[in-house]
Amino acid sequence: MKIKMIMALFLCACFSLTACSSSSSSDGPTEIRVHEMISFSKAKENALKTITDPEEIEQIEKTFHNAKKQSGIVDVTDPQYKVDLENESYYLWFNKDGTAVIMNTKDTHTIFKIDSADELEEMIQN
């Protein structure tokens, strides 16, 4: 009988801990900060944009997640933007052909291509 009581208390404790640990952290970011850049290390003054619309945030996250890793040696110009997305930051370049390139600021040897970046560019620039 004591074993059943202990098991029941243990299970209740486990469920309580699980419920508490799965709170808003899995909801994703509530904002994305976009810095217009002068160089890799310097942002333009007074050029910070904060995106708080949940639909735009979700679309930007999805776009970054679906970007395709590019092989080869990375040789890029100064970034147009730096995007702070939750715990990660990315440099961002838009190309004239409607594509874009992102690079994680922690891994400057790898770039990722976004094939269709027109909507992303509109969200970032407006």
Contact of 37 with 83, CB cutoff 8 Å: no
Tell me the CA distances in angstroms from 10 to 4, 65, 114, 122, one per residue in order. Answer: 10, 39, 48, 52
* pLDDT of 57 strictly over 80: yes
Q: How confident is the model at residue 1 (pLDDT cuts 50, 70, 90)?
A: low
User: Domains (ranges, CATH) in the chain?
Assistant: 27-125 (3.30.1490.410)
Query: Distance between CA atoms of 110 and 113, rounded to whole angstroms?
Result: 10
What are residue 101's phi and psi, to 5 degrees?
A: -130, 135
Length of the chain: 126
DSSP 43: E
pLDDT at 84: 97
